[in-house]
Amino acid sequence: MTGRAAPQAAVKRELRAERISVRDALPAERRSFLSAAACRQALDWLVKERVNTVLAYVPFRSELDCRPLIEGAWAQGITVLVPRVIPESGAMSLHRITGWDELAPGTWGILEPPAAENLQPLLIPDAVIVPGLAFDRRGGRLGYGRGYYDRLYAAWASAERPEAKLPVLAGLAFGAQLIPEVPMDSHDAYMDILITEEGLIPCRRRVEPWS
């Protein structure tokens, strides 16, 4: 680890702990209310943009609960994919789901589909709903430090499939998760848009970490 990388990693660790505390401090009833409002904003955006396939996360602990968004997407006929973590490789596989009964606790205790169920190995979605601990208006994102989403984006971008478009990256967050600036490394992917309970925030800058 270089001299610059070491303090950057320490800053991120401290910021993660701080932002988890901020998110955990939101009362459960308030989180539910804000989650529903943010999901309405996100669903309106998916419909307006005519998204056919979306990759969404399954919420864990105090994350913004995107289950109303997933259920709204099903009602609109939008194909919903969710990830399954592959701890051995640090990658994620993508699976189509049509109901909550298709999931079971997996890595980190997060609900996931079984490994062999509805696997979509070649499918690149139109949009990705991305969780995070903090975001900024440039599109900077602070994740959990494991790099799953960054590796997924990089794999899509490096694939020799000229007909495939990269998905729109949408950070879904509580307004309280927005901060002035997220420390970013060269491999970190920037969001194209942020969605909170208050509406949509087009990001001022997207940097392609793989370019």
Quick one: which H or E segment has residue 84? Answer: strand 79-86
Q: Using pLDDT thresholds of 50, 70 and 90, give the confidence band for residue 207.
A: very low
- The answer on pLDDT for 51 being more than 50 is yes
The answer on pLDDT for 192 being more than 90 is: yes
Higher per-residue pLDDT: 109 or 65 = 65
Q: Assess contact for 39 and 69: CB atoms under 8 A.
A: yes
Question: Distance between CA atoms of 123 and 92, rounded to whole angstroms?
Answer: 13
For residue range 77-120, what is the model confidence (pLDDT) as tens digits? Answer: 999 999 999 888 888 999 999 999 999 998 888 999 998 889 99
pLDDT (0 to 100) of residue 183: 94
Question: Per CATH, the architecture of 5-202 is what?
Answer: 3-Layer(aba) Sandwich (3.40)
pLDDT score for 186: 85
Domain-by-domain residue ranges, the chain?
Answer: 5-202
Return the closest-CA partner of residue 41 out of 169, 198, 173. 198
Q: What is the pLDDT of residue 79?
A: 98
The answer for residues whose C-beta is within 8 angstroms of residue 71's C-beta and 6 or more apart is none
Instruction: Kindly list the distances between the CA atom of residue 162 and the CA atoms of 152, 157, 158, 184, in Å, as whole numbers in the listed order.
Output: 17, 10, 10, 28
Mean pLDDT of 149-170: 81
Give the pLDDT band (50/70/90) at residue 121: confident
Residue with more model confidence, 111 or 155? 111
Top pLDDT among 116 and 34 is at 34
Which residues are 93's β-sheet partners? Answer: 84
Quote the pLDDT of residue 4: 55
